[in-house]
Chains A and B, each alone.
Chain A
Amino acid sequence: MKPELIRDRILSALPGSEVEVLDTTGTGDHFEARVVSPAFVGKSMVDQHQAVYAPLQPELATGELHALALKTYSPEQWQKWIERTRSPK
């Protein structure tokens, strides 16, 4: 799979999201994605990840997409993450 296709699928399932997809092994089956979406507000991490997996279900089922490491955030969670990593100790 191409990372662009994964990105497009996630974007159509979660419009208005910010999506970054990385092919971690260069073999087109192991990916890492960061998704920041307004749809994640008030959702548990399990719900957030399920929402990202949903549009990729066929490829996950066949194993064409073997691994998709996920980082999911609501816009507010993402903002906090940025602040946390930026602030000096």
Chain B
Amino acid sequence: MIPDELKARFDKEIQGNKVVVYMKGNALFPQCGFSARALQLLQPLGPVHTVDVLTEPGVRDGIKAYSNWPTIPQIYINGKFVGGSDILGELAERGELEALVAAR
């Protein structure tokens, strides 16, 4: 269960940005290798909206509940949950990531 206010914030954030990464640290200073890797894969494809779960109390556990996903980073593309850094890496390896970002 997450507070309505937080859920509304996630809804808005995810619908309002093409690519959203909930991560540890920010784009300049990722605080975790998995978050850094996710950014490396996404940044060449266009603007990435990042949310630092370490500086926003409530968001870290909130996004885990919202996505039903226990780990950070979490990636949303075109309003849809894509998964964590493993799935992102797999999509990149298969050459499917670019099309996913380009689609609308």
Binding site for B on A (CB under 8 A): 45-46, 49-50, 53, 56-57, 60-61, 67-71
Contacts and interface: CB of A to CB of B under 8 A. Distances in A.
Contacts of A53: 69-71
A50 B71 contact: no
A57 B34 CA distance: 19
Contacts of B87: 45-46, 49
B69 A67 contact: no
Contacts of B86: 49, 69-71
18 contacts: A46-B81, A46-B87, A49-B69, A49-B86, A49-B87, A53-B70, A56-B70, A57-B70, A60-B70, A60-B71, A61-B70, A67-B71, A68-B71, A69-B34, A69-B86, A70-B86, A71-B86, A71-B90
Contacts of B84: 49
Contacts of B90: 45, 71
A53 to B, nearest CB: 5
Interface of B: 34, 68-71, 81-87, 90
Summarize A's interface: helix, strand, loop or mixed.
helix
Contacts of A60: 70-71
B22 to A, nearest CB: 15
Contacts of B81: 46
A60 B85 CA distance: 16
A53 B84 CA distance: 12
Contacts of A71: 86, 90
Contacts of B34: 67, 69
